[in-house]
Structure 1
Amino acid sequence: MNSLKYVLFSIPLLVVMYFFNFNDKKASKTTGTELVWLTDVEEAYKISKKTKRPILANFTGSDWCGWCHKLSGEVFDTPEFKKWSDKNVVLLELDFPRKKEQDEKTKAQNNSLMQFFQVQGFPTIWLFGMDKDEATKKFTINPIGKTGYLKGGPQVFIDAIEQMIQQQKDKIKAEKNMPQPVGKNQG
């Protein structure tokens, strides 16, 4: 009789598990409002230029890095971060998986950016702007600041990024207010 109860309980459970994938990596605390992480720096550049928002690049090891998962769970997968990021940054994921397949173009792009930013560990988060020389099609990267995992949840992380953005704005404002060099006296 006990084994019949077990079977009767197991069948509905298996049916529920079939229809609801409990291992879905896309599920997050944002209840259906997923973050859009771009993976192509060219696309991130175009959106950044159009919206005048800096790029927030997440150097991650999505299928092996415990601290990356912790950062995602505590910050990136929250409604607070989604709401803030939608208005303030362009999200770029630069993934370095060990098991998941990646195309060669993405690998080359990610490795190039990892070398440029001298990333030593994961997660590393870089905030930056970009310019593109249309004649040569080459990018100029303007680093703003970097961080990694910060204990304290989404607001601590957001505050750190906002501080970087404000420092960059202050720097640009100060440069604009600097006296212009006076030309040589040709007298």
Structure 2
Amino acid sequence: MKKFLLLFLLVFGTQFVQAQDLVWHTNVKEAIKISEKQKKPLMLFFTGSDWCGWCIRLQKEVLKTPEFQKWAQNNVVLVELDFPRRTPQALEIKQQNNELQQAFGIKGFPTVHFAKASTKDGKVNFVGLGSSGYLSGGPTVWLANADEIIKSKKS
């Protein structure tokens, strides 16, 4: 019984630690600073986390997989721009997300925009690299598409 419990804790603990490694920023200004420092593009995930079925499916099938985690750590700075219906959200985050929704012309969820950003004289400038949404086929298909978007525009 002790061996089973130890094995369970080891497996569960490993998965918990892996899940903790990814950081999804909600403050885009902080994410931009990290993006500039690490020289990685932003991955802006526009989602309706508590009501959008396709958003939840993208999370489950791609964004919460070990393949995505490894890819994201090496390639992008993650930003979640959530538009929940039932979950409370700070006013500043709501305003920021609405402004970015308008700036990127988001008409549906989920939408993932890849962009480079810089701040000059207090103003943010985005250079869009491309966008995606839900793609069937799991992490392999989705990540191949994401790689094509960010690598075709590298400068």
Number of corresponding residues = 139
Q: How far apart in 2 are the matches of 1:31 and 1:78? A: 11
Please give the root-mean-square deviation of Cα atoms over the aligned residues, in Å: 1.1
- Taking CA–CA contacts closer than 8 Å with sequence separation of 6 or more, which of the two structures ends up with the larger relative contact order? 2
CA shift, 1:155, in A, is 1.3
After TM superposition, where is structure 1 displaced by more than 6 Å over at least 4 residues in a row?
none
Aligned to 1:148: 133
**Larger helix proportion of the pair:** 2
- From 38, 41, 49, the equivalent of 1:54 is 41
Identity across the alignment (%): 47
Map 1:115-154 → 2, pairs under 5 A: 115-133=102-120, 135=121, 137-154=122-139
In terms of Rg, which structure is larger? 1
Q: How far apart in 2 are the matches of 1:80 and 1:167? A: 21
Cα deviation digits, residues 7-64 of structure 1 (max 9, x gap): xxxxxxxxxxxxxxxxxxxxxxx82212211100011101100110000011000010
Aligned to 1:96: 83
Asked if residue 71 in structure 1 is aligned to residue 55 in structure 2, the reply is: no
CA shift, 1:113, in A, is 0.3
Q: Output the amino acid matched with 2:132.
A: T
Aligned to 2:148: 163
Secondary structure class of the residue paired with 1:143:
strand
- Structure 1: where are the runs of 5+ without partners? 1-29, 173-187
Q: Output the amino acid matched with 1:91.
A: L
Aligned to 1:31: 15
CA shift, 1:131, in A, is 1.1
- Structure 2: where are the runs of 5+ without partners? 1-13
Secondary structure class of the residue paired with 1:102:
coil
For normalisation by structure 2, the TM-score amounts to: 0.87
For normalisation by structure 1, the TM-score amounts to: 0.72
Secondary structure class of the residue paired with 1:98:
coil
Q: Output the amino acid matched with 2:148.
A: Q
